[in-house]
């Protein structure tokens, strides 16, 4: 049964209708330059499915929420202005039963509910179609039991317009939660988590839509769902970028335009959209090591300087220490994770070294017991966690106990080395020959970093020379034994 617009014979009535339409276009337009349906009259969907009662008070999913109490055809003003309803179809218990129906989109006042109609379309599911204002034929649709149909109608006012019916095998689920990241760093991808009210049906697809230019343009990212949880990743953006986004569902597998018109459900933070601002990466120590030495041998309370370096982008490698950095050198009698050590000696700034800052500390002067000790560096930037440096032949890095390890220090019996010992033994570091100026006959031991005596010789009083050209480069411990007296000296072989 096709309904047509009544003819009005009164000039006053015609003028009134024109004024109402102009008023609706001027005051109820959500898009500049575009009119919309007069909202109190809303949009109705009478047809054979409700015996052409208009407004469809006998089936509220077909009735305008602004004209019929409890009507479920609802106006959405966010984005593209549109009207939406969701219809369940079932043999029993649904809003409608399966079948093929003629029907219309209508809008009008109580004096003529069929005053405006949009028609002449045979519905193709999941497709935006153009409806003719005052079309000659009724619309035609085929519905199947066990399905849900979400209808979106584009509100362009009293002109031809588009609408879509999206078919699903279950009621569209709500998008309950959308996460907002904190402390986003420039050029770092962001994962947004999504929570649904229930597991989705196969026809539902979820997308995150984001913009970095206040919605002048936008990009879609698929939301990968597993049960009621899912996630999408927004690519990294430059510093100070404001990213706005929301999540929506649709039956379309790909969407390149008309995002609002193909949306079934959305979560846009109550029309405010979700957003975050990309910030600069906070200053951080991204490299720390134990620079040198990797080993040594001394007497008790004998100076032994250890050097370590750290790197902070843009802050190290220039004169003066990076602000907020603290450094230590620690030691322990067990070869364990430095994070478990308790003996730490504050380190002082030494100098810039390339892009790094170098620090040093004397741990030998505080060790008063004999034995083998292990040492490593420790750094801290402001309130950040401690970071530990280890040694390797390739420059070291964060301590891991495998590639970057602790240094080894052997503390021997005997008198500590000092100025006198250093004057007796030279040059130090040595390359080919080491000179030893003995005040009395003595026995000389060269001990490597693992405590093995690699050379033992007896010398008379006077200047003696020892060929060290075959020694591997590294740190050695020299013992000069004269009766009951032992002089210790650390030797570096280049």
DSSP string, 353-395: ETTEEEEEEE-GGG--S-EEEEEEEEEEETTSPPEEEEB-TT-
Q: Cα–Cα distance between 240 and 184 in angstroms, integer? A: 10
Predicted pLDDT at 24: 42
Predicted pLDDT at 19: 46
**Which pLDDT band holds residue 282 (cuts at 50, 70, 90)?**
confident
Predicted pLDDT at 414: 47
352 class by beta-carbon count within 10 Å (0-12 exposed, 13-18 middle, 19+ buried): middle
Predicted pLDDT at 204: 98
- For the segment 431-460, what is each residue's pLDDT rounded down to a tens digit? 899 999 888 899 998 888 767 889 999 999
Place of tokens 């096709």: 2
The string over 409-447, giving b where at least 16 C-beta atoms fall within 10 Å of a residue's C-beta and e elsewhere, is: bbbbebebbeeebeebbeebebeeebebebeeebebbbb
**Which pLDDT band holds residue 37 (cuts at 50, 70, 90)?**
very high
**Which pLDDT band holds residue 412 (cuts at 50, 70, 90)?**
confident
**Which pLDDT band holds residue 146 (cuts at 50, 70, 90)?**
very high
Q: What is the CATH number of domain 175-277?
A: 2.60.40.10
Predicted pLDDT at 29: 35
The larger pLDDT score, comparing residue 390 to residue 489, is at 390
Predicted pLDDT at 356: 97
Q: Which two three-digit tokens encode residue 326?
A: 């603290």
- For the segment 352-392, what is each residue's pLDDT rounded down to a tens digit? 999 999 999 999 999 989 899 999 999 999 999 999 999 99
Average pLDDT score over residue span 332-337: 97
**Which pLDDT band holds residue 490 (cuts at 50, 70, 90)?**
confident
CB atoms < 10 A from the CB of 483, how many? 9
pLDDT above 80 for 486: no
Tell me if 285-412 shares its fold with 419-493: yes
Identify the CA nearest to 74 among candidates 94, 54, 60: 60
Predicted pLDDT at 427: 87
As assigned by CATH, the class of the 419-493 domain is mainly beta
> Domain residue spans in the chain?
11-168, 175-277, 285-412, 419-493
pLDDT above 60 for 317: yes
Beta-bridged to residue 374, according to DSSP, are 332, 408
Predicted pLDDT at 3: 42
The overall average pLDDT reported for the chain is 90
Predicted pLDDT at 281: 78
Q: Which two three-digit tokens encode residue 424?
A: 């007796």
Q: Cα–Cα distance between 137 and 88 in angstroms, integer? A: 25
Of 38-52, 462-476, 479-493, least confident by mean pLDDT is 479-493
**% of the chain with per-residue pLDDT over 70:** 90
Q: Cα–Cα distance between 367 and 370 in angstroms, integer? A: 8
> What is the phi-psi region of residue 268: left when phi exceeds 0, alpha when psi lies from -120 to 50, beta otherwise?
alpha
CB atoms < 10 A from the CB of 492, how many? 15
Average pLDDT score over residue span 207-236: 97
Question: Which residue spans within 120-259 are E strands per DSSP?
Answer: 129-133, 139-143, 147-154, 161-168, 175-178, 190-196, 205-211, 219-222, 224-226, 229-234, 242-250
**Which pLDDT band holds residue 419 (cuts at 50, 70, 90)?**
low
Sequence-ordered list of residues with C-beta below 8 angstroms from that of 14, at least 6 positions apart, any chain: 8
Q: How far apart are the first and last CA of the chain?
A: 104
Average pLDDT score over residue span 138-148: 98
pLDDT above 50 for 77: yes
Predicted pLDDT at 420: 55
CB atoms < 10 A from the CB of 317, how many? 17
**Which pLDDT band holds residue 430 (cuts at 50, 70, 90)?**
confident
pLDDT above 80 for 469: yes
Domain 285-412 is classified in which CATH homologous superfamily? Immunoglobulins (2.60.40.10)
The string over 258-271, giving b where at least 16 C-beta atoms fall within 10 Å of a residue's C-beta and e elsewhere, is: ebbbbbbbbbbeee
Predicted pLDDT at 364: 92
**Which pLDDT band holds residue 479 (cuts at 50, 70, 90)?**
confident
Average pLDDT score over residue span 294-315: 90
- For the segment 150-167, what is each residue's pLDDT rounded down to a tens digit? 999 999 999 999 999 999
The answer to whether 448 and 377 have CB atoms below 8 angstroms apart is no
């Amino acid at each position: 049964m096709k309904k047509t617009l009544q003819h009005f014979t009164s000039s006053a009535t015609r003028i009134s209708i024109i004024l109402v339409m102009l008023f609706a276009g001027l005051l109820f337009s959500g898009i500049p330059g575009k009119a919309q349906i007069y909202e109190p009259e809303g949009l109705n969907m009478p047809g054979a499915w409700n015996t052409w009662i208009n407004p469809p008070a006998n089936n509220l999913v077909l009735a305008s929420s602004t004209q019929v109490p409890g009507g479920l055809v609802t106006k959405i003003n966010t984005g593209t202005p549109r009207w939406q309803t969701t219809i369940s179809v079932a043999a029993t218990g649904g809003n409608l039963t399966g079948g093929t129906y003629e029907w219309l989109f209508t809008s009008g006042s109580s004096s003529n509910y069929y005053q405006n109609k949009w028609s002449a379309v045979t519905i193709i599911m999941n497709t935006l179609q153009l409806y003719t204002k005052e079309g000659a034929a009724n619309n035609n649709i085929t519905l199947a039991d066990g399905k849900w149909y979400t209808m979106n109608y584009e509100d362009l006012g009293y002109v031809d317009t588009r609408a879509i019916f999206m078919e699903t095998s279950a009621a569209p689920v709500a998008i309950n939660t959308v996460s907002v990241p904190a402390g986003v760093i420039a050029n770092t991808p962001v994962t947004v988590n999504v929570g649904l009210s229930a597991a989705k049906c196969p026809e539902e697809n979820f997308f995150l839509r984001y913009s970095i230019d206040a919605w002048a343009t936008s990009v879609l990212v698929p939301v990968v769902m597993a049960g009621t949880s899912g996630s999408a990743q927004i690519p990294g953006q430059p510093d100070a970028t404001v990213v706005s986004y929301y999540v929506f569902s649709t039956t379309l597998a790909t969407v390149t335009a008309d995002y609002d018109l193909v949306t079934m459900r959305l979560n846009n933070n109550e029309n405010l959209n979700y957003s975050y601002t990309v910030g600069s990466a906070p200053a951080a120590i991204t490299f720390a090591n134990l620079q040198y030495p990797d080993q040594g041998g001394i007497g008790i309370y004998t100076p032994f300087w250890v050097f370590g370096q750290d790197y902070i982008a843009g802050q190290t490698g220039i004169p003066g220490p990076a602000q907020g950095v603290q450094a230590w050198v620690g030691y322990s009698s067990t070869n364990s994770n430095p994070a478990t050590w308790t003996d730490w000696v504050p380190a002082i700034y030494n100098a810039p070294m390339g892009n790094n800052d170098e620090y040093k500390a004397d741990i030998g002067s505080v060790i008063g017991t004999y034995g083998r000790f292990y040492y490593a560096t420790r750094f801290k930037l402001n309130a950040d966690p401690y970071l530990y440096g280890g040694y390797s032949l390739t420059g070291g890095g964060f301590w891991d106990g495998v590639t970057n390890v602790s240094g080894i220090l052997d503390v021997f019996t005997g008198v500590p080395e000092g100025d006198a010992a250093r004057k007796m033994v030279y040059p130090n570091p040595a390359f080919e020959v080491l000179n030893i100026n003995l005040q009395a006959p003595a026995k000389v031991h060269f001990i490597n970093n693992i405590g093995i005596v690699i050379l033992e010789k007896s010398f008379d009083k006077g200047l003696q020379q020892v060929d060290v050209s075959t020694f591997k480069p590294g740190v050695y411990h020299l013992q000069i034994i004269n009766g009951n007296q032992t002089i210790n000296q650390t030797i570096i072989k280049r």
